[in-house]
Amino acid sequence: MSSTFTVAKLSMAMQYMGMRLRHLVAAMKKPDWSEYQHTSWYQYFLAEVGTMERLMGAASCHPITLIMPLTADQLLTYFNDGEQSPCDILAFIKGLNPHVTRIKECHVKLATTMAHAWWQNDSGKVELGYERRPLRDVIAKAVEFFAGVSNGSILLPLLINLHPLPTAKCAALHVMCTEGLKDIDQEFTTAYQFASIAHCQMRCTTHNVHRRLEGY
């Protein structure tokens, strides 16, 4: 099923999930936010992270590399770096700055309303099946959130990188061109040196001829 998702839809969904994670970080950093009120925050957090990981898995089927939004990348990197307790993750979340984004990342104000904003309300119990949302539903929510993207009235940049293989080829081509330029420069230097020597020899010969003529 994941192979049917286009790069554009996956990138849109990843930016949507990135916005969700930015929103929850911004909310959880507020002084009035309490994990004792939002008793199921950790289960919801696991669901959000799991959805982003599934999107990355679906994106890996394409021959290009999609970049995760910055806050999502920071959260997933920390979450997967060994066994982290909920208290550790909460402390890490409170130390993040959700206003810092990647250059091409979509800049939507954090005040924008999002569907199912569990971090703003008393989460209560996790909805049955929320952690197993189909990716097609996540993509549909992303299309709703980025209103106007599908009809072309808003340009949502793709968070993509070149695949490592062409990048390696470009690096090899750069090295080859650099070495070629060095060889050409060396050839010009050698030719210039020969030309300078020939010019000096010609001047010396001309000078000697003039002196001989003056002796007659």
Question: Burial of 21 by CB count in 10 Å (0-12 exposed, 13-18 middle, 19+ buried)?
Answer: buried
Give the domain-ending residue among 121, 142, 161. Answer: 161
Question: Burial of 23 by CB count in 10 Å (0-12 exposed, 13-18 middle, 19+ buried)?
Answer: buried
d(CA 95, CA 105): 21
My answer on whether 197 and 216 are in the same domain is yes
- For 142-154, letters b (16+ CB in 10 Å) and e give beebbeebeeeee
Give the range of the structural domain holding residue 176, as residue numbers without chain letter. Answer: 163-216
My answer on whether 154 and 167 are in the same domain is no
My answer on whether 182 and 125 are in the same domain is no
My answer on whether 115 and 39 are in the same domain is yes
pLDDT on residue 160: 55
My answer on whether 94 and 111 are in the same domain is yes
Give the domain-ending residue among 118, 137, 161. Answer: 161
Which residue positions in the chain have pLDDT lower than 70?
1-3, 104, 106-113, 122-124, 128, 148-178, 180-181, 183-185, 188-189, 191-216
Q: Which residues contact 66 (CB under 8 A, 6 or more apart)?
A: 7, 10, 11, 14, 56, 59, 158, 159, 160, 161
pLDDT on residue 213: 54
My answer on whether 89 and 22 are in the same domain is yes
Contact 95, 19 (CB under 8 A): no
My answer on whether 74 and 170 are in the same domain is no
pLDDT on residue 60: 81
User: Other CB atoms closer than 10 Å to residue 155's CB: what's the count?
Assistant: 8
pTM exceeding 0.85? no
pLDDT on residue 32: 87
- SS3 at position 176: helix
Question: pLDDT, tens digit, for every residue of 146-202?
Answer: 775 555 455 566 665 544 444 555 566 556 666 766 766 677 667 666 666 666 666
How many separate domains does the chain show? 2
- SS3 at position 29: coil
pLDDT on residue 35: 85
Contact 41, 35 (CB under 8 A): yes
- Supply 193's token pair: 């040196």
d(CA 211, CA 216): 9
My answer on whether 35 and 133 are in the same domain is yes
My answer on whether 175 and 144 are in the same domain is no
